[in-house]
Amino acid sequence: MSDKNNKVYIFDTTLRDGEQSPGATMNPQEKLEIARQLALLNVDVIEAGFPVSSKGDFEAVRTIAAEVQGPTICALARAIESDIKIAADALEPASKKRLHTFIATSPIHMEHKLKMSPAEVLKRAGDMVKYARTLVDEVEFSPEDAGRSDKNFLYEVIELAIANGATSINIPDTVGYTTPMEFGQLIKDIKLNVPNIDQAIISVHCHNDLGLATANSLAAVVNGARQVECTINGIGERAGNASLEELVMILKTRHDLGLFTDINSKQIIRTSKLVSNITGMFVQPNKAIVGANAFAHESGIHQDGMLKNNKTYEIMNPEDIGLLATQIPLGPRSGKHALKSRLEQLGFQNIKEDDLKNIYERFIRLADKKKRVDDRDLVSLATNQSLANESAATFELVHVQVTCGSGGLPTASVMLRDQRDKTNILKGAELGTGPVDAICKCIRRLTKAECTLIEFSVKSVTEGIDSLGEVFIRIQDDLQKGVYSGHAAKTDIILASAQAYLNAINRYYERKDTIKLNPQAAEALTP
C-alpha cells in the first residue's frame, strides 16, 4: 500500500477551474484562505490561478506562492511565450513550483478556435514546453479536448512534450463527453502507444457535463493515471469538475483497488464548507460525501429508521471526513481560551490575537442571543472574520432601519460613512417591493453604484430560527459586466442583507476595472 507507484497525486484546481464557475470569482485574500486550507488537506499540487488573466489573479498566485508551504504551487499558461513568462514570475517565490501549459489538439478546436494546422500545434506545444522548462523544473502539458482528438496525433504531441521536458501529461475531457469505459481505454492506449510515457506522470482532468467526472477519473487511475485534477465540491465551469472528496473517499473506502492518496481526509468537511462559504456555490444536501444528508439516515428525523449496526448501511465513517462526534456546545460563559482551542480543533490554526478578539466579541453577542453555539456557528464566525480582513472598505454601514408588513409600504432608512472622507455621512430612505429591495435601492442610490443584483440567498447556519442566517449576494456591474459577491452572517437577516449588499458594492468599487480572461477564450491565443 505504501508502494509509491500506487500513490495517486491530488492536483486541486478549485482556485483556477473552480473559480471559472459562473459568479464564483474570488479575490486574492479569499484565494489565500482556501490555499492554506488545501495545504492542511495535504493536496499535492495547488493550481492557484491563470496569472495572465488579470492583475488580481497574478497577485493571488504570487501571494500563495510566497505564503503557502507544503504543496507544489502551479500556474496555468496558454502555449504562448508571454503567458508562460508571466506565470513563472507569479510562481517565483514558491519553494516547489509547476507551470501548466496547454493547447487544443482536437480537429474542432484547432480549426474553429486556434485556426492552426496540426503541424503548427505540434510545433508550438514542443517549443513552449521547452521554454517553460528553462524557467521551472516541473512542467505539465495538457492537450485540450484530448477526448475528441485523433489518437495518433495525440500520441505524437504527448511524446514531443515529454521529449521536451514535460514532467506530467494531463489528459482533459474538456467537454465531459466520454464514458468511463472509453476514458479508461484512452489512458491505457496512451500508456501503450507513447514510447517515452514512463518519463512522465499521467494526469486526468474530467468535466461533469454528463455526471461522469468522478467515474471517468476513477477509470483513469485504474488504468494507469497517477494524478487527478479535481476541485472541492466539484465546482468548475458548467457542471464542474471531478470532486476531490469523492475520488479521495473512493480510494480510501475501496482500498482493495490498491491505490492511495496522501489526503488528510479529516479536513474534507472543513474545506468543503470554506469553499462553499467563499464562492457562494451551495452544496446540495444529496451531494456525495459532503452533502448535509450524505451521512444521515433521515438525520435525527426518523430515529426509528436507524439501525443498530451501522455497517449495514454505512460504508464510510463520518469521523473520517471530519464530521465531529457531538461536542458540548459553547455558551455565553465560555472563555476566550475555550473558544480558541475549539477553533483550533476546527482547523483555524493561526488566528491572530486581534482577530480572535473580534471573533470572541461576536461569539458572546451570538451566545447571548441563542441558547447553544455549535461548531457550525463557530466556523461561520471565524470564516467571516478572516474575510473581513480585506483591504479597507469604501463604505461603512452605520445604521439601518426597516419597517414592513402586510398592510404598509416596505421602507428602509440607511446611514453610511464614506471612508474616503470620513466626515462624509450619507443617509436616505427608500421604499421597495420588500425590505431587502428597499435597503438595496437605498444603498445603491447613496453609493451611486451602477449595478444589478443577480442572486440573493439566505441559509440558516444551524437549526433554530434564532440561529445565524448567512446571506449571499451577487451583483453585476451594469457597464463592465464584472460580477462581485458579498456575504454576511447575522441573526437578523435584514441587517445581514444590508451588510452583504454593501460588501458587494465595496468590492465593486475596489476592482471595478478588472475583467478576467477566460483560458479557453478563442481570440486570445495569438501570441
Contact between residue 242 and residue 208 where contact means Cβ atoms under 8 Å apart: yes
Least gap, CB of 520 to a copy of itself (angstroms): 7
Q: Does residue 287 bind a copy of itself (CB under 8 A)? A: yes
Q: What is d(CA 278, CA 35) in angstroms, rounded to the nearest whole number?
A: 12
- Residue 368 or 421: the one with the smaller Cβ distance to a copy of itself is 368
Judged by CB under 8 A, the chain residues 352 through 391 that form the site for a copy of itself are 369-370
Place of cell 486581534: 354
Region for residue 12 given its phi and psi (left: phi exceeds 0; alpha: psi -120 to 50; beta: otherwise): beta
- Residue 63 or 105: the one with the smaller Cβ distance to a copy of itself is 105
From 26-34, 286-294, 343-351, 422-430, give the range in contact with a copy of itself by CB under 8 A: 286-294
- Residue 303 or 526: the one with the smaller Cβ distance to a copy of itself is 303
Contact between residue 497 and residue 473 where contact means Cβ atoms under 8 Å apart: yes
From 35-43, 152-160, 300-308, 373-381, give the range in contact with a copy of itself by CB under 8 A: 300-308
Judged by CB under 8 A, the chain residues 151 through 190 that form the site for a copy of itself are 174-177, 179-181
From 4-12, 71-79, 344-352, 459-467, give the range in contact with a copy of itself by CB under 8 A: 459-467
Could you give the angle at which helices 353-369 and 375-388 cross, rounded to 10 degrees? 140
From 61-69, 292-300, 341-349, 418-426, give the range in contact with a copy of itself by CB under 8 A: 292-300
- Residue 114 or 351: the one with the smaller Cβ distance to a copy of itself is 114
Least gap, CB of 355 to a copy of itself (angstroms): 22
- Residue 92 or 319: the one with the smaller Cβ distance to a copy of itself is 319
Indicate which single residue of 40, 163, 426, 458 sits in contact with a copy of itself (rule: CB under 8 A): 458
Indicate which single residue of 455, 510, 512, 514 sits in contact with a copy of itself (rule: CB under 8 A): 455
Judged by CB under 8 A, the chain residues 14 through 43 that form the site for a copy of itself are 20-23
Q: What is d(CA 27, CA 388) in angstroms, rounded to the nearest whole number?
A: 12
- Residue 169 or 483: the one with the smaller Cβ distance to a copy of itself is 483
DSSP-derived secondary structure for 435-501: HHHHHHHHHHHHHT--EEEEEEEEEESSSSTTS-EEEEEEEEETTT--EEEEEEEESSHHHHHHHHH
Judged by CB under 8 A, the chain residues 50 through 109 that form the site for a copy of itself are 108-109
From 196-204, 344-352, 376-384, 515-523, give the range in contact with a copy of itself by CB under 8 A: 515-523
- Residue 170 or 178: the one with the smaller Cβ distance to a copy of itself is 178
- Residue 352 or 429: the one with the smaller Cβ distance to a copy of itself is 429
Could you tell me whether strands 45-49 and 469-477 are parallel, antiparallel, or unpaired per DSSP bridges?
unpaired
Indicate which single residue of 2, 198, 308, 350 sits in contact with a copy of itself (rule: CB under 8 A): 308
Q: What is d(CA 389, CA 230) in angstroms, rounded to the nearest whole number?
A: 28
Least gap, CB of 412 to a copy of itself (angstroms): 9
- Residue 143 or 176: the one with the smaller Cβ distance to a copy of itself is 176
Contact between residue 162 and residue 155 where contact means Cβ atoms under 8 Å apart: no
Contact between residue 113 and residue 525 where contact means Cβ atoms under 8 Å apart: yes
Of 370, 429, 371, which Cα lies nearest the Cα of 402? 429
Residue type, 220: A
- Residue 282 or 344: the one with the smaller Cβ distance to a copy of itself is 282
Query: Per-residue contact track with a copy of itself, 241 to 280, x per CB under 8 A?
Result: --x--x--xx--xx--x-----------------------
Contact between residue 454 and residue 474 where contact means Cβ atoms under 8 Å apart: yes
Q: What is d(CA 507, CA 32) in angstroms, rounded to the nearest whole number?
A: 17
Judged by CB under 8 A, the chain residues 401 through 440 that form the site for a copy of itself are 401-408, 410, 413, 432-437, 440
Judged by CB under 8 A, the chain residues 133 through 152 that form the site for a copy of itself are 145
| Whole-Å CA distances, 173 to 77, 105, 375, 434, 517 | 18, 12, 38, 45, 21
Q: What is d(CA 21, CA 13) in angstroms, rounded to the nearest whole number?
A: 12
How many other C-beta atoms can be found within 10 angstroms of the C-beta atom of residue 75?
34
Region for residue 280 given its phi and psi (left: phi exceeds 0; alpha: psi -120 to 50; beta: otherwise): left
Q: Does residue 295 bind a copy of itself (CB under 8 A)? A: yes
Q: Does residue 400 bind a copy of itself (CB under 8 A)? A: yes
Torsion of CA 172, 65, 384, 317, to 10 degrees: 50
